[in-house]
Structure 1
Amino acid sequence: MTDWSLLHHFEGPADDIPVLFASLTPQNRKRTWRDLHGRLCRDGRVCPASFAALPLLWEVAVGGSPPDRDAALSLAGDIVAKGRRYREEYDAALEAHAFRIAGMATLADAHLADHAHRAHYISLLCGMLALEGHLAWAWALDDLTDTFLAVHCPHCGADVTISVGRYGDHSAIRDRHRGDIDRRPLRPAAAGELSPLGARLLSIATRDGQISLARGLPYLFGTAQCPPCANPFAIAPAFEKRVASDGEPRLPGTQRQHHRGTG
């Protein structure tokens, strides 16, 4: 049993966390989940109370109403993503809750098809990716209607912008005054060339009628040409490597906004 009186969250003593969960009703749903986010996952940070709340989030994810399941899985995904970003501090907590984390990832996967037309579909998808450990995509994936990612060319180290969506599917060098210059078209991956994660995401997006996402995924998991050195490189591993080293998933101004409430 968790002794909540010994824990603190971002607003003070954590003994109000089980009270918030116990008092969750349709009438106070939005306010309660907003309060839980503010206490347990704030400004990219988590705390020991965040991980102590994972069993309570698991209970809601298994037996709560559909809107509450959405919110529980989204919050759990955020907590786990932040904890995995700072593994040295939270590795033991992640290991202690590994079974529940894996279970919530499975629930999120099964839950997606029922939310294909909800505004927060992408948030739920990214929560699933966070719970599974695919952190770069959990932080950066959106519906790919207007996406810019920053990568380092693995050949020459140049900073390359990857654009997918309404502004074109290309690699480029981002100039402060002139925008994206020296554009080179991306080569989308064919079905048989997709990585296991890329193929799975494309299958999910196609199943759920996510047209923009399904159109853009072959580009994200395809090949770009580096404008300075002209060498081709695989986009996905270059992006994952950059996030792992630099910690910033998106170019400024393009960060996906997580769903914080319920419908």
Structure 2
Amino acid sequence: MTDWTQVVDAHGVVGRVPLLLDQVEGEEGPGAWEELWDRLCLHGETVSAASFTALPRLAALAPTCARALELASAIVRGALRHPDGKALLAGCPNEVARLRELVDQRFRTRPADYHRLFGDLLALAGQYHWSASMGDFADDFYTVSSPGCEAEVTIAVGDYGCYSAIRDWDRGDTERRTLRPAPAEELRGPGRWMHATADRDGQQRLTEGIRYVFGRAECPACASLQHCGSAHDREPSSSP
């Protein structure tokens, strides 16, 4: 039995979350869901100990409640930003596995929010950095450090083109070099199953973007090559 008097939510409050869980389990309306989101995933990204404690009950609701699935997935995505997130998730592996299965089932319906759900799936698979950084490849930009000269290199994948460049504050992306996409058959590790999942679901832009982000980029400053996907801890940068 969980002692909720010892579990703090995102507002530093104890005891409120179990009452809200009782309400949503009793289908008492949208107000309880809105407050539950606010306490378990503040601003859609800030999680707390209460978030992970609530995960088993949310996972139990998720097969028949889209709101529960979305909130539970958002909590898992927030694990990277919580100092004990990974350890807390390790305490409920069955729930995480079930949530991953449910998200994958939703993919088969071709949902309009496929790209958001893809980020959820990445987090549920333990790929927290990819979940946080990968967009829909319409206008994605990343910053990596060149292995040859440590220059800061912008990687672009999307409607603006697929290239590496040096970003200048006034001139934009300069000295562009075309990215070299990885052949699908040569993808390995997370890139392989990410590509296979998107391809299975007919997400052409996503499959092509994955090939580029796991491909090779040339540093405009020193001409060294690197695998774009090797910069696993990179952060998205702003669009031009």
Question: TM-score, with normalisation over the residues of structure 2?
Answer: 0.88
1:98 to 84, 93, 96: 93
Q: Deviations over 1:68-109 (max 9, x none)?
A: 2xx33333233233334445x345422212222222222222
Instruction: Please identify runs of 4+ aligned residues in structure 1 that moved more than 4 A.
Output: none
- The match for 1:42 is 42
Matched, 1:13 2:6: no
Matched, 1:252 2:205: no
Matched, 1:78 2:79: no
- The match for 2:53 is 52
Q: CA deviation at 1:185?
A: 0.1
- The match for 1:167 is 160
In the TM superposition, 1:201-212 aligns within 5 A as 201-212=194-205
1:182 to 162, 175, 186: 175
Instruction: For residue 140 of structure 2, give the secondary structure of its aligned residue in structure 1.
Output: strand
Confirm or deny: 8 A CA contact 1:76 1:131 kept in the other structure.
no
> d(CA) in 2 for partners of 1:40 and 1:253?
30
Q: Deviations over 1:114-162 (max 9, x none)?
A: 2x241x2111111111111111210122221111111112222111111
Q: CA deviation at 1:232?
A: 1.1
Q: CA deviation at 1:12?
A: 5.1
Instruction: For residue 147 of structure 1, give the secondary structure of its aligned residue in structure 2.
Output: strand
Confirm or deny: 8 A CA contact 1:76 1:127 kept in the other structure.
no
Give me the identity figure in percent: 37
Between 141-150 and 209-218, the greater mean CA deviation after superposition: 209-218
Confirm or deny: 8 A CA contact 1:187 1:222 kept in the other structure.
yes
2:209 to 193, 216, 226: 216
> d(CA) in 1 for partners of 2:6 and 2:210?
45
Q: CA deviation at 1:191?
A: 1.6
In the TM superposition, 1:107-118 aligns within 5 A as 107-114=102-109, 116-118=110-112
- The match for 2:230 is 237
Which letter does structure 1 place at the counterpart of 2:237?
Answer: L
Instruction: For residue 169 of structure 1, give the secondary structure of its aligned residue in structure 2.
Output: strand
Q: Is there any run of 5+ residues in structure 2 with no aligned partner, and where? A: none
Which letter does structure 2 place at the counterpart of 1:108?
Answer: V
Which letter does structure 2 place at the counterpart of 1:74?
Answer: E
Count, aligned residues:
238
The structure showing larger relative contact order (alpha-carbon pairs under 8 Å, at least 6 residues apart) is 1
Confirm or deny: 8 A CA contact 1:5 1:13 kept in the other structure.
no
